[in-house]
Amino acid sequence: MDIKRVKDYISWLYYQYLLITCSYVLEPWERSMFHTIIVTVLAMVVYTAYVFVPIHVRLAFEFFSQIFGGQLESTA
């Protein structure tokens, strides 16, 4: 794959991001603050999903396993 095409595609994606979020109208310091907040929020969402989703999936599996009469592995 051509490096120039990849670079153009990434710059096009970044431009689309600027258009969708309307951050192209911000001043440079405002844009950097906006990007910092967005990255921080996304990092917190990913961390929370990584920590809590497996716990909730396990609890839901145990709950539905008890409802439908299946035995848990620890009680078998």
Cα torsion 50, 55, 56, 58: sign? positive
Q: What is the pTM of this model?
A: 0.63
Residue with more model confidence, 43 or 71: 43
Span 19-37, pLDDT tens digits: 999 998 999 999 999 999 9
Q: Which of 47, 46, 1, 43 is nearest to 10 (CA)?
A: 1
Span 7-19, pLDDT tens digits: 999 999 999 999 9
